[in-house]
Structure 1
Amino acid sequence: MKRIAPITKNEYIEEAHFEDLTHDGNGVTKVDGFPIFVPDALPGETGRVKVVKVGKGFGFGRLVERHSDSPFRQEPPCPIYSECGGCQIQHMTYEGQLQVKEKNVRDVLERIGKLRDLPVNPVLGMEEPWRYRNKAQVPVGLQDGRLVAGFYQKRSHEIIDMDHCIIQYEKNDEVIQKVKDLCADLGIQPYNEQSHKGVLRHIMTRTAFTTGEVMVVIVTRTKALPHKEELIKGLTQSISGLKSIVHNVNGKRTNVIMGDDTRVLWGEEVIHDSIGDVKFAISARSFYQVNPEQTKVLYDQALAYADLQGEETVIDAYCGIGTISLFLAQKAKKVYGVEIVPQAIEDARKNAALNGMDNVEFEAGPAEVVIPAWYEKGIKADVLVVDPPRKGCDEALLNTILSMKPKKVVYVSCNPATLARDLKILEAGGYRTKEVQPVDMFPQTMHCEAVARIEWEGDPHVSDD
């Protein structure tokens, strides 16, 4: 039976009570159980709301007047926070952010995973939750005849021009500004999304926190980069620590930032960074965590849950460039890493060599194909680690885990909803989730990572839903 919304567009909720936050930071109020999502409202607050949109299962509102404030409300320190779509919860104190993230992880594990008595620890946060991102990538456009670069405005593709971002490492701000100014001075034309004309689409920079090495990536629509030599000269003379200038070509009509054609214009193909005692070579296309301080916290937690004694065989599914694999290899007898992206596997092998680790092997291919093939060769994991993308584990991989029955599974998740879904499947197959540790990798946003410790008990669990 079709549900009829208890409220209509343009109607007012005179005394809305906000009880939660959505994944994109909107406050949640309900009318007869029907949720209305309202920007700039925090849990525990009340206010007057105008309903601006009503859908089948939820609506959207605008906060007309706030009647009470959350104890966690603060003035956002960023001057363009109200316009920019880069952060969602700067108007909330960091203490409040950690509390709401813990609640969200706990709630989703209960609602989707049916894991009601599961220990969920307080979120591991940062001492200084600003200036943590080692990578910046900003779109470029033309406004009022001048080149601009910044993040997109909320719910639009309108660029908010900026000269600094307080969640980016200061060096990235400096580099972006110098690239922007130089391209403007040289008359390099910004890309126009509507007409699919122009040259400069994105500016990307990476700064290695431990070495200070800097990479600049210039993404263009065209294969030719105008004023290439002047650009290289200007960048090398003005940016300290610069080790690499890379040109990427993306000629497609797409929201994807980088294209397939990548070439080094100047310097080296990689920059180098470390997480703990493990060194990494990072290319323009490498997936490398953007918050190195919290990455160590996350990987230390995964290592603690694996509880390696030096005699174990470990399989790392979704291994990327080998970041977790090499952390595990410090304690394991042998680590096997698998990743579907061949370039990532090449990087992983180089990183193993860079660290002198010969107890780790990498193979390119789908985890759900490669791991059973290893199993047939007699390679059986004592501990299996998964760090999947936001969509979670492939169903075939979950079935592979249930067939192989490793004693321990350590699940590193960037999406609590798919973590909960996958844990429910593993629990039904005989595993027990012992503990979950959330880790805040992205302060000022609603994103939260989590690590789950899972052990084989052989007693299939049937949920009561």
Structure 2
Amino acid sequence: MITLKIGQKITLNIQRMGINGEGIASYHGRLIFVPYALPTEEVLVEITENARNFSRAKLLKVNKRSKDRVEPKDKVYHELSSSHISHLAYPAQLEFKRDLVRQALEKYRPAGWKSYELRPTIGMDNPSHYRNKLTYQVRRLNSGAVIAGLYKENSHHLVNLEHCIVQEELSQQIINRVCQLIEKYNLPVDDERKLRGIRTVMIRRSQKTGEVQMIFVSSANITLDGQIWPQLRDEPTKKQRASFVKMDNILSDLTEEFQDIVTIAVNHHPKKSSEIYGDRTQTLFNEKERITEGVLDYDFELSPRAFYQLNPTQANVLYAEAAAALSPHKTDRVIDAYCGVGTIGFAVAKKVKSVHGMDTTPEAIQDAKHNAKRLGLKNCHYETGRAEVIIPNWYKSGHKATALLVDPPRTGLDAELLETIAKFPPEKMVYVSCNVSTLAKDLIVLANLYKVEYIQSIDMFPDTARAEAVVKLTRKKARK
């Protein structure tokens, strides 16, 4: 195999796209990954990394363009990550996302994978400004200016996002104003060397009602109306007081300027950690404890830290597909694993005998119980905890599911939960996936128990190399 040197420039013909959206070429038998390159293109690249079996390269020039290449609508956002694919025309993005499922299946090869029905990806009519939630890091520059945005991939360089093509527009206006107000009132801001102030701001807006909720994440104590939070045991020192974040003026200005804001909370996160939130959250402004959101034909409420899909338009598509794949029957006893605030289970609750759900986030379970009561659903039961622990306990107590809904995080199903499913497999199952690689890996176990009827890919995140999928599974008949 040929040896390539770092910095060496070569010309390549791109053959296909990989799972992270990069172009892939073969050069004298060696695979080379080129971010932002597209199939059929001839490109000039510079080698940046050599691994044992492949190399990575930087795109320098496109000598021959793909017919599917377009100019990114937002170059700043596009360049944040090598997995952003807004240089690819949207119809081609949808086909690529179906191919992502195929690539994952080919890698892990669950039983019968070649015969699975892979349905065309369901996209958006308007794939812009679709994110209903932003979580931006906040930093103060040496000039004194305050910026908010996201870190560039594999770096500690914070990119200022004042106009983001994927972000809901009012949320973007609010975060821009937050930066101005932090400057105006000279509030302390966190940095990576010294934990001393506001570090992150979360803003979520309901597509249904327009209501907005916010969380300021601070490494320092905050004060409001003279009250210190979190409370200190002893009288604060002069040095401590100097680092307090005084929230009175910024809260007053934000709630006066943006009438849609109904909740502002603060989360105390004093540790150096990649986790977004610390353990303690307190509401500072509470016109409404929760915002109201809607999906399909029902409404539900969300507390600030509860999870909900970031693309509410496509959430309607996702939940409708999940409900259809379940084929609900009035005698079904459904278990909704990783239930969040209960949204997917609510889509079928009126058509089945019962829905039992669990989630590890206590706030989400509180919201699920609250929402079930609001909707008049007396057949819904929710518990806080891990699915792999709670489901066996339910089975031991006599509650056995006829149908199972799973919507796991990107890491896929827990090994213990897979063992539980293998031991007590319901007659039908729907797997909602946000990571096609872990889906394909989990199907190694599930495809021995279930027939994969079809996989429906859904574009929840246009311009990124991420695909969601809904999988319909039916129990295989036991051999005699």
How does the TM-score come out when normalised to structure 1? 0.94
What amino acid is aligned across from residue 48 of structure 1 in structure 2?
A: L
Q: Distance in 2 between matches of 1:149 and 1:86?
A: 21
Aligned partner of 1:224 among 222, 225, 245: 222
**Structure 1 residues 179, 112: CA separation in 2 closer, same or farther (over 3 Å shift)?**
same
What amino acid is aligned across from residue 136 of structure 2 in structure 1?
A: V
1:36 equivalent in structure 2: 32
1:159 equivalent in structure 2: 158
Aligned partner of 2:102 among 100, 106, 115: 106
Q: Distance in 1 between matches of 2:455 and 2:464?
A: 20
Paired residues of 2:266 and 2:283 also in contact (CA < 8 A): yes
Q: Distance in 1 between matches of 2:17 and 2:196?
A: 40
Q: How does 1:250-289 map to 2 (within 5 A)?
A: 250-267=269-286, 268-289=288-309
Say whether 1:17 aligns with 2:13: yes
1:169 equivalent in structure 2: 168
**Structure 1 residues 86, 186: CA separation in 2 closer, same or farther (over 3 Å shift)?**
farther
1:149 equivalent in structure 2: 148
Paired residues of 1:81 and 1:87 also in contact (CA < 8 A): no
Q: Distance in 1 between matches of 2:51 and 2:208?
A: 49
What amino acid is aligned across from residue 10 of structure 1 in structure 2?
A: G
Q: Distance in 2 between matches of 1:252 and 1:282?
A: 27
Say whether 1:92 aligns with 2:88: yes
Tell me the SS of whatever aligns to 2:181. helix
Identity of aligned residues (%): 36
Paired residues of 1:37 and 1:59 also in contact (CA < 8 A): yes
Q: How does 1:17-416 map to 2 (within 5 A)?
A: 17-81=13-77, 83-85=79-81, 88-114=84-110, 115-143=113-141, 144-193=143-192, 195-225=193-223, 226-267=245-286, 268-416=288-436
**Structure 1 residues 168, 87: CA separation in 2 closer, same or farther (over 3 Å shift)?**
farther
* Structure 1 residue 68: Cα displacement: 1.1
Paired residues of 1:27 and 1:42 also in contact (CA < 8 A): yes
Paired residues of 2:21 and 2:82 also in contact (CA < 8 A): no
Say whether 1:418 aligns with 2:415: no
What amino acid is aligned across from residue 403 of structure 2 in structure 1?
A: V
Paired residues of 1:151 and 1:161 also in contact (CA < 8 A): yes
Across the aligned residues of Structure 1 and Structure 2, the Cα RMSD in angstroms comes to 1.7
What amino acid is aligned across from residue 74 of structure 2 in structure 1?
A: C
What amino acid is aligned across from residue 308 of structure 1 in structure 2?
A: P
Q: Quick check: 219-228 or 200-209, which moved more?
A: 219-228
* Structure 1 residue 90: Cα displacement: 1.2
Q: Distance in 1 between matches of 2:285 and 2:91?
A: 44
Q: Render the CA deviation track for 1:356-379: whole Å, top value 9, x for unaligned.
A: 111110122221221122112221
How many residue pairs match? The answer is 454
Paired residues of 2:403 and 2:428 also in contact (CA < 8 A): yes
Q: Distance in 1 between matches of 2:216 and 2:348?
A: 35
2:467 equivalent in structure 1: 448
**Structure 1 residues 295, 333: CA separation in 2 closer, same or farther (over 3 Å shift)?**
same
Q: Quick check: 320-329 or 94-103, which moved more?
A: 320-329
Q: Distance in 1 between matches of 2:109 and 2:362?
A: 33
Q: Distance in 2 between matches of 1:5 and 1:455?
A: 48
**Structure 1 residues 404, 5: CA separation in 2 closer, same or farther (over 3 Å shift)?**
farther
Q: Distance in 1 between matches of 2:325 and 2:133?
A: 29
**Structure 1 residues 330, 153: CA separation in 2 closer, same or farther (over 3 Å shift)?**
same
What amino acid is aligned across from residue 271 of structure 2 in structure 1?
A: K
Unaligned runs of 5+ in 1: 461-465
1:463 equivalent in structure 2: none
Q: Distance in 1 between matches of 2:475 and 2:78?
A: 48
* Structure 1 residue 12: Cα displacement: 3.0
Paired residues of 1:196 and 1:253 also in contact (CA < 8 A): no
Q: Distance in 1 between matches of 2:187 and 2:412?
A: 41
Runs of 4+ in 1 over 6 A off after TM superposition: none
Q: Render the CA deviation track for 1:279-323: whole Å, top value 9, x for unaligned.
A: 222112111111111111011111001111222111111111211
What amino acid is aligned across from residue 137 of structure 1 in structure 2?
A: T
**Structure 1 residues 320, 72: CA separation in 2 closer, same or farther (over 3 Å shift)?**
same
Q: Distance in 2 between matches of 1:407 and 1:77?
A: 46
